[in-house]
Structure 1
Amino acid sequence: MTHQSHPNDPPPAGDELLTISEVAAIVRAPLATLRYWRHLGTGPRSFRLGRRVVYRAGDLRAWIDAQADASDAAAAASEQG
């Protein structure tokens, strides 16, 4: 599929397909957490390709950006009230 990601590698861009292990390394979360997020529907967008769960790099980047935006909004709201 793709080369093995290391924690210090920047997330890839575009439509490159990433395995759940590669995504776990990028977001520094255990595989079980990614599986749980997938179950809840709260994690990065993923889909099945045959028997494998894969993630598009662009979808992962969008999800990471959304998490940062939500965190910034929560911090701003707590400062106001």
Structure 2
Amino acid sequence: MIDTAQPDTAPRPYLTPAEAAAHLSIPVRTLESYRKRGGGPVYRKLGLKTVRYHRDDLTAWAEAGKRRSVHEC
């Protein structure tokens, strides 16, 4: 019998802080700072210590920061 199962190559929707920082090309410390003071991407708290970011939320946050000039608010 031939195994026709395909390996799961789809990207995982939830990322660790390190993966999310790499996805956004920012330091992990910057992402941690956003969590503490606000203004960063939405995240999920799973249990007491586990933090995860959804890829769609990272993209939405990055898109919300688009500007054409330094004078845009």
Q: Does TM-score exceed 0.5, indicating one fold? A: yes
Q: 2:31 aligns with which of 31, 34, 42?
A: 34
Residue 45 of structure 1: aligned partner = 42
Whose Rg is larger?
Answer: 2
Q: Output the aligned Cα RMSD.
A: 2.4
Mind listing any 5+ residue stretches in structure 1 that lack a counterpart?
1-11
Quick check: which one's helix share is greater? Answer: 1
TM-score by length of 2: 0.71
- Runs of 4+ in structure 1 over 3 Å off: none
Deviation at 1:77, TM superposition (A): 4.1
Q: Given residue 17 of structure 1, which amino acid in structure 2 is its aligned partner?
A: Y
**Number of equivalences:** 62
Residue 22 of structure 1: aligned partner = 19
Deviation at 1:62, TM superposition (A): 0.4
Percent identity, aligned pairs only, is 36
TM-score by length of 1: 0.65
